[in-house]
Amino acid sequence: MATSRFRNGLALAGLLLGTTALFAGGPPAPPAKPEAFRDARKLAERIDQRISAKWDEHKVTPAPIADDAEFLRRVYLDLAGRIPRVSEVLDFTAGAKPYDVPNKREVLVEKLLGSNNYPTHFANVWRAAMLPQNNNQFFFNNGQFDQWLRKKARDNAPWNEMIKELVTAQVLGRVGRGGQVAQPAMYNQASQEIAVYYQANEYKPENLAASTSRLFLGVKIECAQCHDHPFATWTRKQFWEYAAFFSGFKSQDAGNGMFFPTGDEPMSRKIKIPNKDDVIEARFLDGATPEWKDNVATREVLAAWMTSADNPYFAKAFANRMWAHFFGLGIVDPIDELGEDNPPSHPELLDELAASFAANNFDVQFLVRAITLSRIYQRTSAMTHSSQEDLRLFARMPLKGMSPEQIYDSLQVATGFKSGIQRLTPGFRGQGDARTQFLQQFANASDKKTEYQTSILQALALMNGPFMSDVTSLDRSETLQAVIDSPWMDEEKKLNTLFMAALGRPMKEAETAKLVKYVQKGGPSGDQKKALTDVFWALLNSSEFILNH
């Protein structure tokens, strides 16, 4: 009976909070698509079998499957880049339509893949990977490159076609203030949007070589730029042979840290090694010599080799990168150091993921479905046995630090704060609206998700910075306003609603016993409203909120 009253109260709160949250989660959930999941289910089963075999070998007792609330929060963060709203938690955990089916986790994944949040989130993920070396405001807020990435994610463009388009883009022209690219009319819109990637790499062959090999081949060859790689087998000659594919650009420094190309020789395939007399010709990383053809640009030859299903690196690098997205670390870790000197934890699994990805026409969402439907992904993050300590055995879900975008967007969902309208308290260091300012402050967060660390300044900003003050104030937090001013909720219902908004779950028994008394007494100040605000602030600063688990 008490549970029924609690659910009824939360349902009304969820209705209210659901209409005020800025993120609507995209269109209504489409019906499940069995054909989209058929092959993905098979691969999910193979994932489970491969990982389980390693458990048997190491005598591991795996963690149990996560409950619906834990799974819901995790998959929202991984696919939509934010936590679920109260109404979304209630619908899924109660099995409301469209989740009144045995395969409701499949239905949820399909809904998120079709939402507006999915392409926005993966545009953030891909941009962070592709432009990590540039934290200045120009690259951070460039709308054109984000627009291209969002379109590719929304259309589920095959990964090979997307990367081929990026590698072969005609990007002559200057990227100006505000992210606009001055291009001759003959160049298409996509090339203008992609130009930012080349701008970020200063149009330099060595920078483009290092970036493309790391991102799309999983090979970190920049250590061989000045000398043979100290730990791997890559030589300096191999680095410059690969860089020669980008040798056609002639660039100029605009004097403000911005570079733009002054010319492009598309058939250029030779490059001079700095500080040496050697001039070498482009060659693939696997040692093969390209078959040059008349009227086929050098970068087109590279892209054709790079994105081939037969390429020994391409499909494997992306499969490993996607695994790391969902688990916080790759089957090969670090993810950009594939090679004999850094063996995978599960080599057969990585081979199978790569082969299936290529066989399914490099379908990104195919991999997303397969990984999220596996029982490995759906296990709880709580350590339930000492044998689960080694994260590379994947016996439990590793705790992952959120990206700056995930933190901000989740805070916005939890509090009802409207970033597009409101700015932060005067005096906050940064430009633009609240979201832009927040992301500026958290731009240097750690790239390794399982090493979730924040700087002292970032920790202070979350505890008592102007942003947290704004989103937990009665004047600006629509969640607090809705809960505190509710005449039909007692202290326990109000607290449970705040827990649902922040953590996606109601209070546990011990929390209820402690916090209800705290609010009834009004905390140190004797003010119940202030006490509820204090609890909400504590929840938003807790590890349970900040971490993806």
Mean pLDDT of the chain: 84
List Cβ<8 Å contacts ≥24 apart for 146-155. Answer: 147/193, 148/190, 148/193, 148/194, 149/119, 149/122, 149/123, 150/119, 150/120, 150/123, 151/119, 152/119, 153/118, 153/119, 153/122, 153/123, 153/126, 153/364, 154/118, 154/119
To the nearest 10°, report the CA torsion of 351, 104, 115, 440.
-70
**Where does the pLDDT of residue 428 fall: very low under 50, low under 70, confident under 90, or very high at 90 and above?**
very low
CA distances from 354 to 42, 141, 273, 316 (A): 14, 33, 34, 5
User: Are the C-beta atoms of residues 452 and 418 closer than 8 Å to each other?
Assistant: no
List Cβ<8 Å contacts ≥24 apart for 440-445. Answer: 440/137, 440/140, 441/465, 442/404, 442/407, 442/408, 443/135, 443/140, 443/404, 444/135, 445/401, 445/403, 445/404
Which pLDDT score is estimated for 425? 39
pLDDT in tens, 153-210: 999 999 999 999 999 998 764 444 444 444 443 345 667 789 889 988 989 999 999 9
**Where does the pLDDT of residue 476 fall: very low under 50, low under 70, confident under 90, or very high at 90 and above?**
confident
What whole-number distance in Å separates Cα of residue 311 and Cα of residue 537? 50
Least confident stretch, 1-5, 350-354, 419-423, 468-472 = 1-5
Beta-strand (E) ranges in 37-183? 174-175, 181-182
**Where does the pLDDT of residue 2 fall: very low under 50, low under 70, confident under 90, or very high at 90 and above?**
very low
Which pLDDT score is estimated for 372? 98
Give the number of other Cβ atoms within 10 Å of residue 187's Cβ.
16
Tokens of 386: 């000492």
Higher pLDDT, 479 or 263: 479
pLDDT in tens, 108-131: 999 999 999 999 999 999 999 998
Break the chain into its structural domains and give their ranges.
Answer: 171-306, 401-548
Q: What amino acid is encoded at 433 in this protein?
A: D
What whole-number distance in Å separates Cα of residue 420 and Cα of residue 435? 8
User: Are the C-beta atoms of residues 450 and 391 closer than 8 Å to each other?
Assistant: yes
